[in-house]
Structure 1
């Protein structure tokens, strides 16, 4: 099934905006301050967080899209923060940026694992975001899912086993799968679940028995995608909502040209 658009809204109850299929651009920013030393050198202090903004456009919105965006911008679903799954995330990594790179600067896991140093990952390079688990259990942040698509969770590890669980909005498990690493060499282990029930809202990955763990990813695909940093976000705000009337009649309802910005508040959420 082809991906139909982007998803935005309250976690566990996101709306599909089909006409955002190809109308998103993303910009990133990182807070940096500079100081010049007496010796003439320039030093920089760099924030560990990279925050993103997505510029979104709908040249001619569907009536349902107009209604939902107006409701969201008016506060009907609260003031946020909201969850956001852009089109690019569904076929790459729906985790947040920080959740996809657990380590010294992104403490986005639970368990007894501790951040470690540089780690060479085949096909990725020298990675500075990984965990030493020493056989303990490591659980990563929940990721959004949609019942119309399969979900694949993956992680790089040495030894151990990966479990993928799917939950409904009440936190009740509605799907489960697992896969084990072969031998003790570093490898990517993945689990795919298909035919999710209609009430499925989130997925959770847990690693047990591994020595080293890193680079988790979750995608709405039937197999693992090339690893990329998380492209979704669980903490965004919608601003700059602008709508220009295009057409209104008794049959087609309200159609507008809509633009808005999705602004990230916390890339570790």
Structure 2
């Protein structure tokens, strides 16, 4: 250690020095350092008339573009996602339609135009007034809800009229719906017309009931009403199977609805932020 303490000053004392002379005789390193300037490389002037270079990947550009989903379509997809069971006879995520409407309102906040959308008004526009009823028998995928919505639609399109009733209510809608659904059995010549006129309503409640072939999410999950051969007995049989399964597995406890099973909201989900992207 004493040797190092003496060696360092000795090295500094014997270090060569660069003499500073006149400008013409200065060391070349010193001259080069003084000539350095911070200069940006020259860029060619932009000519608007000149043709733009075409990228070899230009044809793929539309594939990578993200487009905003129209708020109406976004609403329909969100509703389908919320009511679609995760498996056959799966437990419903919402104990009431009020909870379902609240979840819809929260999800719509992710869409740029969702805040201006009134959930009740859009539910009526979708032909699903049963979602505004908070009684448990009107949950999506129940026979009462299906009859209610089909009946309301039959009144709307003018097929059913009630003399002396200015504003049809629950009783009228249920009667009209049951009358329409009575045609949905094998061999009935009016069944295709009923399926065609009430296609979105039937598809919605078939989906919510977990019927096989009706649970694929949109846009791929839409069923062609002209090819659909589902009968009312298929729907009621599905409800009976699920009711029997619930009774068998719950042992008297009502666990059909569980708020803890509500799907988590994620602002990173393309379904929830109003964007859909197609990536190769």
> Does the TM-score normalized on the shorter chain lie above 0.5?
no
Greater per-residue helix proportion: 2
Normalization by structure 1: what TM-score?
0.26
Higher strand share: 1
